[in-house]
Structure 1
């Protein structure tokens, strides 16, 4: 990891170890510099096969992009279910859509969510 006055270089898997995979967002200590943001959150996560979110999110008022890096991943939305199978497959959903998910095999995903935090978008 290398950090400068207004920049950072690191490894997503390592940098997110203590924050459930999140490497950028409002919950990153401001002492981490540019990794602290109230505008956007970024997560990199390796899910083992069978890993799943049993409970559904509820009433999230942010926009989310989930991007498949590798593996096989099912995302269940209140509107429909989507299975990501090819590198680069993604799902984008907006405020008010609840979700749950399951890794159908060992899977790496990147999630981008905005704005960062529990506030409603302007």
Structure 2
């Protein structure tokens, strides 16, 4: 916010489950119900939707990949799946293991890291990287 007024706002029709801010530039990604929406300011400073994705699961983690020059790229985790979301391209699954939900997610320019919940009785094997 500049002063007391927001510089941009938009809404979803349902509760927002995850938010990601770009580490550089003016880009925000949000996940609501089965929709992931990426908004960014253009070179004139006007905000617009640059990407809109439909995922058939509720997103619980969302990150924007830093240092991308070809437009915003997001990585989303929903249940046991991790998705790569690029505008103009089909959604790509980076990881999927049935029954092992993703518990945390982080990205860099070259890598995505995430943890999954295991179902072992041994305390040192319940979370894996």
**Shorter-normalised TM range:** under 0.3
TM-score, length-scaled by structure 1: 0.27
Q: Which has the higher contact order (CA 8 A, sep 6+)?
A: 1
Going by fraction, where is strand more abundant, 1 or 2? 2
Q: Specify the structure having the higher radius of gyration (Cα).
A: 2
